[in-house]
Structure 1
């Protein structure tokens, strides 16, 4: 009986190992984005990696990633309901750039309306499908801008434009 347990455990180990190897093989065959579309995060280039054993840093300056609306992340989720049962939603705009500020953030917000009063310095509807975040001011990395609004349904919000020229 003990031999049977050892054999079944060994068989299970072999099966799990084969599945992991197969999954790794499939993952390595997934298409990769073109090299010119990858974000450069460190001052490491491919030639310095191959020339000195893979751990060296180049002396060239870091390339700053291009400023775009993609540097902002919009999160929206349910919040505790208002008095009377009106659904409430919490929205947060986060600058995901590590070392740059983003400003003049405009959001495609449809016909946004709220039953709650929202601080216009945080979020304000300027026109149909155009809302301004943080009064157009700077959103620093790791300092998100957030607010809550009340309505019977959540409004889809996507960043329409942003600027990194915040001086």
Structure 2
């Protein structure tokens, strides 16, 4: 601590006191500044933001085409077989064998026991040719494991083996003639012509 002599004046005492106060204040500010910056690193300014251009929009493509549902158009006089397919009527002349045989199948009155029954009509649709040779014989039908609860005349329709049934006992069917029969089962069989042969009308 500084000791002043008795020879000092009051003004000198006052100036010395103010010097001590100023030094103490300056020391306090310096210490506070050091304590505020302790443990902190200088702040680094963030890197400048670079604007990224948005991708160009793709040019609009052609409008999608509307998908229209397909419709099955059946020509007049077309034949619908047991399988549900359409068999167009032939307009050319002459015998074509199996192509001239049309099979129609529909529902009949069920048996008293409730078993469903079905009617079958097999027709020779040959339009005729030179000399009217349109007789068709040896008509074989694809029939799976055909069986019937009710009796079917074997001379009209009978199963020879798996998927092979004989119509009309193999005899000829003239142009425009139809052979019909009924059978009964819990479900209908898919009946399609497998083979048929054109023969002479005068053949035995």
TM-score range, shorter chain: 0.5 to 0.7
Q: Deviations over 1:130-162 (max 9, x none)?
A: 000000001112220010000000000000000
| Contact 1:105–1:161, Cα closer than 8 Å, also in 2 | yes
RMSD over equivalenced CA pairs, Å: 1.5
- The 1:163/1:83 distance shift into structure 2, 3 A limit, reads same
What is the count of residue pairs matched by the alignment? 107
2:136 and 2:169 map into 1 onto residues whose CA distance is 12
> Residues 157, 165 of structure 1: CA spacing in aligned structure 2 closer, same or farther, 3 A cutoff?
same
Answering whether residue 113 of structure 2 is matched by residue 84 of structure 1, we say yes
Q: Which residue of 1 aligns with 2:170?
A: 136
Pick the structure with greater CA Rg.
Answer: 2
Distance in 2 between the 1:66 and 1:93 partners? 16
Q: In structure 1, what is the equivalent of residue 153 of structure 2? A: 119
TM alignment of 1:14-163, pairs within 5 A = 41=92, 64-99=93-128, 100-163=134-197
Equivalent pair of 2:91/2:127 in contact (CA under 8 Å): no
- Distance, in Å, in 2 between the alignment partners of 1:142 and 1:96 is 6
Runs of 4+ in 1 over 4 A off after TM superposition: none
Distance 2:95 2:116 in 1: 38
In the TM superposition, residue 65 of structure 1 has moved relative to its aligned partner by: 3.0
String of CA shifts for 1:63-91, please: whole Å, max 9, x gaps.
x4352311000000000101111100000
CA distance in 2, matches of 1:113, 1:40: 35
Structure 2 CA distance for aligned equivalents of residues 40 and 116 of structure 1: 38
Give ranges in structure 1 of 5+ residues lacking alignment. 1-38, 42-63
Under a length normalisation based on structure 1, what TM-score does the superposition of the two structures give? Answer: 0.61
Identify if the C-alpha distance between structure 1 residues 97 and 81 changes in structure 2 by more than 3 Å, giving closer, same or farther: same
Distance 2:175 2:181 in 1: 17
